[in-house]
Structure 1
C-alpha cells in the first residue's frame, strides 16, 4: 500500500499529517494520491480535503498539488504525509516566517553526527564542519507565485529531493526556522515503531 496509508495507532499516516497542518493554521488541504488510490485516500480523510492525482515523481506530484489549490491560496506549504507527528507549533513557525515576507521557508535541525563525503570505493574524502550543516524537514513553505514560477522554469523531467531545491535553482533565498525531532519521517519499520511509542506516551 502507499506509505501514506500505513496505519499509525489505527489511523493512516496521511490523516495524522492533515490534522497537524490544520492544527497549525492551514486552511485548505490538497492531497496528491497515487494513481488508482483516490478512493482509498478519500475513505481515510475528511470530506473537505481536496484530492488530486499525483505524478510519477515527487516534483510531478507537487506540480499537481499546486494546480489543484484554490485561487485564494497565496501561501502554500508542501508536507510529507510520512511525517505524521509534526507539531502544530512547527507549522506555525513556517507560516509566521512566510507572513513576515520571506518567499521560501524550511524547518531544519542541526546535524549531531559527524558527516563525511565518500568516494566510489567507500573511502572518506572529506568531513565538512557540521556547525553549518542542517537536516531539512517539512512542511516547507512558499509564496505561491514564487514556487509556481520556480516550477515553471524547472525541466519537466527534473526530480529534485525537495521544494527548497526547486526555488534555490531559481535563485530564491530560502530561510530556515527551527525544526522539531517529532517531525521525523517514517521511512522504515523502526520509524513506525518509534512513532507508535510516541503516540502511546
Structure 2
C-alpha cells in the first residue's frame, strides 16, 4: 500500500549508500580495495568526501565488510569529514546487492532520494554528484552518469577455451553506447522495489530498475569518476590528485 505522506523526491532529503564490503581481488593481495590508500588516504575516505562535498547530501551510509565495521568507523572518525553531513557504518552482506539493500534498510524515512556509489570511484567530481541528484529531483526514478565510448566495441562469441580467438558477431553503433559510472541516483521507493523483486544476476542498481520496466536516464559523467580496479588505475588516481593539488592548492 502506498504512503501518500512520504515526501516527493523534489521535497525530500538525499542520502548516499557506499557499498565497501568487497575484497578487490584484481588489485592483488592486501587490504580490501576500499581501504587502499591514495596520497596516504584510504580510497573509501576519498569517496565519502566526494559524496559529502555535495550540499544536497546530508547522510552517507558506508556498508563495511561484515567483520570490519568497527575498523571502518574508526577510519572515518580519524579523517576530517564535513560537519553538515551525518555518517553511519553498517555491516554488509555476501554480495554487492545484499550490501546495498542493508544500506537502504538503515535509511531514515525522510530520505526520498538515494545515491549508490562505488567506493572504488574515489575521485568523482561534485558537479557529477549534483547533476544526478537534480535529475532525480526533477522526476527521473533512476539516473546514471555516463560517458561516450572512445573505443569501437565488438560483441563476440565466448571462446572455446581461455586464450582462443573469439568470433565477432556484431559491432554495436558506438554513438548509442555509454560507459556508466556512479553515483547512480534513485527515487527511494523505486530502488527498494527493485531490490525486493529482482534477482542477483545484475551488474548495477540501475539494471535492477530497468528490469522493473522503469525508465533509466543518463546524465553526463566525468573522466575522473573512473573505477580503480587494477594497479595502473592507482597510478592514474594519484596523478589526478597531484593535478588537483596544483590547481587548487591543497
Tell me which interval the TM-score lies in, with the shorter structure as reference length: over 0.9
C-alpha deviation, 1:70, in angstroms? 1.6
Give me the whole-angstrom Cα distance separating, in 2, the residues matched to 1:120 and 1:186: 26
TM-score (norm 2): 0.77
Shift of 1:146: 0.7
Task: Kindly tell me the number of residue pairs found equivalent between the two proteins.
Answer: 199
Partners in 2 of 1:159 and 1:34 — Cα distance?
Answer: 21
> 2:57 is paired with a residue of what secondary structure?
coil
Kept after mapping to 2: 8 A contact 1:146/1:167: yes
The answer to whether the Cα contact below 8 Å between 1:59 and 1:159 also exists between their aligned partners in 2 is no
Residues 4-49 of structure 1, C-alpha deviations (whole Å, 9 max, x = no match): 1111111111101111111123110001011211122112214841
Equivalent residues in 2 for 1:40-59, closer than 5 Å? 40-46=71-77, 48-59=86-97
Partner of 1:142: 186
Other-structure match for 1:93 = 131
CA shift digits 1:45-90 (9 cap, x unpaired): 1484111111111111111110011221110000001001000000
Q: Highest Rg: 1 or 2?
A: 2
What is the aligned counterpart of 1:79 among 112, 117, 123?
A: 117
1:114-153 to 2 correspondences below 5 Å: 114-121=152-159, 122-153=166-197
4+ aligned runs moved over 2 Å, structure 1? none
RMSD (Å) for aligned C-alpha atoms? 1.2
* Pair 1:39-2:70 in alignment: yes
Query: Is the 8 Å Cα contact of residues 110 and 134 (structure 1) preserved in structure 2?
Result: yes
Instruction: State the partner residue of 2:209.
Output: 167
The Cα offsets for residues 102-130 of structure 1, whole Å up to 9 and x where unpaired, read as 11100000011010011123121111110
- Judge conservation of contact 1:58–1:159 (CA < 8 Å) in 2: no
Gaps of 5+ in 2: 1-30, 79-85, 160-165, 244-250
Unaligned runs of 5+ in 1: none
Structure having the higher helix fraction is 1
Deviation at 1:154, TM superposition (A): 1.7
Corresponding residue to 2:218 among 176, 180, 192: 176
TM-score, length-normalised on structure 1? 0.96
Match of 1:28 in 2: 59
Cα separation, 2, equivalents of 1:143 and 1:118 = 35
For residues 75 and 170 of structure 1, the distance between their equivalents in structure 2, rounded to whole angstroms, comes to 18
